[in-house]
Structure 1
Amino acid sequence: MCQIATSKSAPPYQPTWASLDSRPIPSWYDEAKLGIFIHWGVFSVPSFSSEWFWYDWKGNPTPAIVEFMKQNYKPDFTYADFANQFSAEFFQQASQWADIFNSSGAKYIVFVSKHHEGYTNWPSKYSFSWNSVDVGPNIDIVGQLMNATRQRTNLKFGLYHSMFEWFHPLYLADKQSGFKTQNFVNQKTLPELYEIVNTYKPEVVWSDGDWEANDTYWKSKEYLAWLYNDSPVKDTVVVNDRWGKGVQCKHGGVYTCGDRFNPGVLQKHKWVNAMTIDKYSWGFRRNAKLEDYLTIEELLQTFVTTVSCGGNMLMNVGPPSHGHITPIYEERLRQMGTWLKVNGEGIYASKPWTYQNDTITAGVWYTMKKSKSGGTADVYAFVFDWPGSGTLSLGLPKVSPATVVTLLGFPGNLNYHTQSAQGLDIEIPAIPVNKMPCQWMWCFKITAVKN
């Protein structure tokens, strides 16, 4: 596993990957396990396909989107015209958002400050007339969400920022030069990155849109050295791995290795599963069907397998343009919170165990916390399906004389029988449905398991 920071003191980091990669990941991030991703912008107005609507209309035209625009908008309508309809009338000073995100059991949020369309959700000095104060809702969205989050919750506040913009003239000119010029980086990308950190002090800086040019073009190493050495969040900030072509899954902070990355096996470096409740889009879709949304059972299974293998899960919601979190998203978030209130002991600040999933019973995944005595561990077995036979057979835990088995949220200890070398059969109590310790997935705590 990756090194986790235990102290705020650190030597200055140099603008080289060898130096930058030596920085420990702040411990708060590894302990948090769950974050909420929020994609919101001008793309939330058409909300027809995804957050890539503009590119799929004008950059690489998709017939369905071209026809949608032809049938519903006048011929001279431009993408910029959508900004006037980005109303955010139900954003309500972001208090509703902060309260719902807090109810999910997540420990941090990552909000899209700017996507590939270039529209900034804050009054950027470097995005004249294409930001949320100059056109659209006429408010500092990032600032309001930051204030609501920090005033109403203990959630860490993070920001996503796209390094490139599909149709920005300076970027297109740099691209035409083979990225030998850096006018877009010097005049747009870097100034924005410094601006959001100095203004809002995000504790996650999630970079994206980096893949067409290398990190030298983006001046990523120089920026990260400043972020780690001199920025107002130098001791606590967490970054990802999207800082240039070929960098992903090799350098940076936590590894994303691609969207919805969930390898199912233990990883050597701290990683994150950035995924969506809507299976097909990060932004809101008006034409989404019920079956397009992950069920709470699917979300929990994704979450537990992620944590068991050493990752965090960054779970995305896409609000509509008016700014009210839709009921399907709110339900999923509150369901996660309900489940974590019962089972969070086996999630927060847990570590991957020697084994990630069981060899006898399918759908059983493990986490652990080291015992204070040092020789044993408390192992948490997450069970996807309630045992129908009255017995839960586990092949891997090697119990000690001090071992006690409990079901989180249910009073008392459970009876169990040991198998030959290791493993045990846990007697499942007959629990009425209305007495179940939460639903959807269950966690059995097995104390004093031999390492």
Structure 2
Amino acid sequence: MKTYRCTVAAVALLLASHALHSPAQTEGHRIATNQDHSVAAIQDTETAAQRDARMAWWREARFGMFIHWGLYSIPAGTWNGKQIPGIGEWIMNSASIPVADYKALASQFNPTAFSAHDIVALAKAAGMKYIVITAKHHDGFAMFDSKADPFNIVAATPFHRDPLRELAEECRKQGVKLGFYYSQDQDWTAPGGAAYKRGNHDRPNHHWDPSQDGDFASYLHTKAIPQMKELLTNYGDFPVVIWFDTPTPDMTPALAGEIVALLNQHPNLIWNNRLGGGYKGDTETPEQFIPAQGYPGRDWEACMTMNDTWGYKSYDTNFKSTETLLRNLIDIASKGGNYLLNIGPDSKGNVPPAEIERLQQVGKWLAVNGEAIYGTHATLFGSEAGSFSTAEKDKEGKPKFIPTWNWRSTTTDDAIYIELFSWPKGSFHLDKLPRTVTSAYLLADKSKKPLKITNSAGGIDIALPVQALDPIATVLVLKTK
């Protein structure tokens, strides 16, 4: 899939149309980028070797934890006794909550059940290699100790603790990387902050409360950039990732360049394609879907929820099965991407039990089969993922991709991994192989018993036992040269 390039006016049209779909983030494949930057980013100047070195740990990781957590976990999807449609962290916008009423939630926010140790341990048990947490979402509330603005968890709540600092300490202890999500553009409680349109927010700036009005550049200079400086300097070797979101036309190339100048002071930092101002960043960010063929030649990360919301909603129990989550991970890795899977803690800091259960189950599979995911490259084949329909069209009028779910494949320099979802009878057949197979075995078989290999003019067949070793995905390893 290509990166779309368009004018500022076209960006505004995309944002207006996309806002109808109530996203937690703008889908990364819709962000306009270009190469004309008055302030060069590291991506504009580094060599291929330098980029490979900077991105090395991220490419190895393949699996990370997204955390959406903030004041929106208090209403948990309900305002004034009414369940508000849409995703939990957008409730202020979706319900047109006045700034003063929303800010008053801070006095109720006391997440005493929050445990940085337990959350990092959960990520580790799930096989996740990094965490990205919402340092500030669109509601403008900072989940860290900010001297730049008092609307934060330390100064404005009875909790008086900095969860980001506690997570940073635990990530160091437990060997997990830490990154910060920061809403650089939208801010619904700071004068001048941008806002996406919802409902009857028909004013040019889509504000619903006069106290939101102001100058965007002033917001950026007095709040957003100072807070980003805090995030980049107050937590030692973290963050390793900055995850931007929902750029609007307010983020001009010149203003975005001021942020890039700050990012350039941290040369090992990884950041995504959602800054705005035409900057492509490091990673494509497809949201709530897996691109049919990945993004060949680009690093990419699919961010997805476990249920239907990012921020906690008390009545959203539509959780995906462990099978779906695990097969998503395998599918993403087979296309060369990373999987950023979200949890949404409640207002006390508890992770929903259904999320814990599924993450632990995924981790059990990875404890046995992680070799087929971590540090691997995309499939050498491709047709196993499915094909584009000759008759059906997607919502953009393009041929619809019809996935198939029999198997996927990942690779390393000396191995081909076949993740089998549907267990073949007798043997697994491949028509063509770009490498010579020297041996084969099942990854979950501790004895690594060799499997019979039969080569013929029609391809290669690997004899398999009668039953799969795992009901969700059994990994066949083909050692190659």
Q: What TM-score, normalized to structure 2?
A: 0.75
Q: Which amino acid aligns with 1:160?
A: Y
Structure 2 counterparts to residues 21-420 of structure 1, below 5 A: 21-23=44-46, 24=51, 25-48=54-77, 49-58=87-96, 78-92=101-115, 94-151=116-173, 153-163=174-184, 164-171=186-193, 182-200=217-235, 201-216=238-253, 219-228=255-264, 230-231=265-266, 234-235=267-268, 237-244=269-276, 247=278, 251-256=280-285, 258-267=286-295, 268-278=297-307, 280-289=308-317, 292-358=318-384, 363-371=406-414, 378-387=415-424, 389-397=425-433, 400=436, 403-410=438-445, 411=447, 412-420=449-457
Q: Is this contact kept in 2: 1:51–1:282, CA < 8 A?
A: yes
Q: Is this contact kept in 2: 1:15–1:222, CA < 8 A?
A: no
C-alpha displacement at 1:254, in angstroms? 1.0
- Please give the secondary structure, in 1, of the residue aligned with 2:360: helix
Provide the residue aligned with 1:64 in structure 2: none
C-alpha displacement at 1:415, in angstroms? 1.5
Q: Counterparts of 2:316 and 2:385 in 1: how far apart (Å)?
A: 38
- Please give the secondary structure, in 1, of the residue aligned with 2:283: coil
Q: Which amino acid aligns with 2:183?
A: S
Q: Counterparts of 1:323 and 1:91 in 2: how far apart (Å)?
A: 4
Change (3 A) 1:171 1:129: closer
- 1:440 maps to 2:469: no
C-alpha displacement at 1:345, in angstroms? 0.9
The count of corresponding residues between Structure 1 and Structure 2 is 395
- Please give the secondary structure, in 2, of the residue aligned with 1:403: strand
Q: Which amino acid aligns with 2:332?
A: T
Q: Counterparts of 1:118 and 1:150 in 2: how far apart (Å)?
A: 28
Q: Which amino acid aligns with 1:226?
A: L
Provide the residue aligned with 1:8 in structure 2: none
Q: Counterparts of 1:340 and 1:419 in 2: how far apart (Å)?
A: 34
Q: Counterparts of 2:151 and 2:188 in 1: how far apart (Å)?
A: 17
Q: Which amino acid aligns with 1:101?
A: A
C-alpha displacement at 1:168, in angstroms? 2.0
Q: Counterparts of 1:288 and 1:175 in 2: how far apart (Å)?
A: 31
Q: Counterparts of 1:254 and 1:427 in 2: how far apart (Å)?
A: 40
- Please give the secondary structure, in 1, of the residue aligned with 2:478: strand
Q: Which amino acid aligns with 2:353?
A: P
- Please give the secondary structure, in 2, of the residue aligned with 1:105: coil
Q: Counterparts of 2:154 and 2:432 in 1: how far apart (Å)?
A: 54
Q: Counterparts of 1:185 and 1:322 in 2: how far apart (Å)?
A: 31
Change (3 A) 1:310 1:359: closer
Q: Counterparts of 2:407 and 2:114 in 1: how far apart (Å)?
A: 40
- Please give the secondary structure, in 2, of the residue aligned with 1:88: coil
Q: Counterparts of 2:154 and 2:480 in 1: how far apart (Å)?
A: 54
Q: Counterparts of 2:56 and 2:108 in 1: how far apart (Å)?
A: 41
- Please give the secondary structure, in 2, of the residue aligned with 1:226: helix
| 1:77-134 superposed Cα distances (whole Å, 9 cap, x missing partner) | 9222322222211113x11111111111111000111100011011211221443443
Q: Which amino acid aligns with 1:204?
A: V
Q: Is this contact kept in 2: 1:37–1:317, CA < 8 A?
A: yes
| 1:208-239 superposed Cα distances (whole Å, 9 cap, x missing partner) | 1323423425x3333334323x33xx23x211
- Please give the secondary structure, in 2, of the residue aligned with 1:185: helix
- Please give the secondary structure, in 2, of the residue aligned with 1:21: helix
Q: Counterparts of 1:448 and 1:130 in 2: how far apart (Å)?
A: 54
Q: Counterparts of 1:16 and 1:77 in 2: how far apart (Å)?
A: 38
Q: Where in structure 2 are there 5+ consecutive unaligned residues?
A: 2-36, 78-86, 196-203, 207-212, 387-403
Q: Where in structure 1 are there 5+ consecutive unaligned residues?
A: 2-13, 62-75, 372-377
RMSD: 2.9
- Please give the secondary structure, in 1, of the residue aligned with 2:357: helix
| 1:56-91 superposed Cα distances (whole Å, 9 cap, x missing partner) | 1116x9xxxxxxxxxxxxxx9922232222221111
Change (3 A) 1:277 1:359: closer
- Please give the secondary structure, in 2, of the residue aligned with 1:315: strand
